[in-house]
């Protein structure tokens, strides 16, 4: 889907270049605060300064703007993830509600993704960058439910939805933890460790489930003169192990190895 800009907004690549220079400094905090305090950020990302007075009940010790700068500061100096960190809470002022017992910001990630797409397009960023950053913003809150218990299907869905952005999404989520409570911070990092471990395990399981030996059961039975039975399954297991250890082999080599294996059995 291509990004669009409202008719009253002009694309300003120079502003985008300036924001990129600020964000890709190894230590981007001084530049960010200087841009905010000088009023420059009102031109670059006018939605950002509005976060200064927005109090987030999750981060009680700071307003959302301070939290946002802290998250950006923790990320690697890579443009996509730093832009995502800058915009991940951008929609909180628009989604603030007092209807559900205290202050809530329901669906702020979805609204934020739309706002991100619009603003980055106006700043002249390439469409691929715009879409990646908007998707990171949209997915940035998905991890919040992990502590309640995710099924394997939910873990697979999280990894599938993130796709090639998975590593950057996980990094963003880790950096989004800015609490001063060391026990809580360690708990969040441990949960992400567990999620990443499960993603790896499930991916390996899927890879193995999708593996096929170099010959199917019918070919094995025809070559060895076997009837359906246990020996065919054992032969297929041998061929699969052979593939895992030596990769794809020519059919003649497979048959020779199968003959040698069968001769040892008989």
CB 75 within 8 A of CB 32: no
pLDDT at 106 over 50: yes
Residues 28-57 pLDDT 10s: 999 999 999 999 999 999 999 888 865 555
Res 1: pLDDT: 36
Res 7: pLDDT: 44
pLDDT at 59 over 50: no
Report how far residue 210's alpha carbon sits from residue 12's, in angstroms, rounded to the nearest whole number.
Answer: 48
The whole-chain average pLDDT of the chain stands at: 88
CA distances from 68 to 130, 143, 150, 166 (A): 19, 18, 27, 21
pLDDT-based confidence at residue 94 (cuts at 50, 70, 90):
confident
- The residues, ordered by sequence, that sit 6+ positions from 52 with a Cβ below 8 Å of its Cβ are 36, 63, 64, 65, 66
Neighbours of 145 (CB within 10 A): 11
Kindly list the domain boundaries of the chain, sorted by start residue: 1-140, 143-210, 217-265
Res 143: pLDDT: 92
Res 97: pLDDT: 59
CA distances from 101 to 57, 96, 144, 236, 249 (A): 12, 12, 19, 60, 64
Residues 193-239 pLDDT 10s: 999 999 999 999 888 777 888 899 999 999 999 999 999 999 999 99
Res 75: pLDDT: 96
Return the percentage of the chain with pLDDT > 70, whole number: 89
pLDDT at 190 over 90: yes
What is the number of alpha carbons within 13 Å of residue 140 lying toward its C-beta?
Answer: 35
Res 6: pLDDT: 47
Res 104: pLDDT: 57
CB neighbour class for 5 (10 Å; exposed up to 12, middle 13-18, buried from 19): middle
Res 248: pLDDT: 83
Residue of 97 and 246 predicted with greater confidence: 246
Top-confidence range, 59-68, 90-99, 122-131 = 122-131
CA distances from 150 to 85, 124, 158, 192, 229 (A): 25, 39, 10, 12, 39
């Amino acid at each position: 889907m291509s990004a669009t800009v409202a008719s009253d907004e002009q694309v300003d690549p120079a502003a985008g270049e300036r924001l990129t220079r600020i964000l890709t400094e190894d230590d981007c905090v001084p530049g960010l605060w200087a841009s905010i305090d000088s009023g420059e950020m009102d031109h670059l990302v006018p939605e950002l300064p509005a976060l200064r007075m927005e109090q987030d009940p999750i981060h009680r010790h700071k307003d959302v703007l301070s939290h946002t700068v802290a998250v950006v500061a923790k990320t690697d100096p890579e443009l996509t993830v730093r832009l995502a960190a800058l915009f991940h809470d951008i929609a909180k002022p628009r989604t603030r509600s007092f209807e559900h017992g205290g202050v809530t910001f329901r669906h702020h990630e979805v609204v934020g993704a739309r706002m991100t797409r619009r603003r980055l397009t106006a700043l002249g960023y390439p469409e691929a960058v715009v879409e990646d950053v908007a998707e990171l913003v949209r997915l940035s809150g998905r991890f919040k439910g992990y502590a309640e218990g995710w099924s394997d299907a939910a873990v697979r869905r999280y990894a599938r939805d993130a796709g090639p952005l998975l590593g950057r999404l996980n990094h963003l989520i880790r950096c989004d933890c800015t609490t001063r409570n060391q026990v809580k911070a360690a708990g969040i990092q441990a949960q992400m460790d567990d999620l990443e471990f499960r993603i790896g395990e499930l991916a390996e399981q899927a890879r193995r489930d999708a593996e096929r030996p170099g010959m199917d059961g019918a070919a094995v039975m025809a070559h060895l003169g076997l009837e359906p039975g246990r020996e065919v399954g054992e032969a297929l297991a041998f061929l699969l192990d052979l593939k895992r250890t030596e990769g794809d082999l020519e059919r003649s080599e497979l048959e020779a190895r199968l003959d040698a294996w069968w001769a040892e059995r008989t």
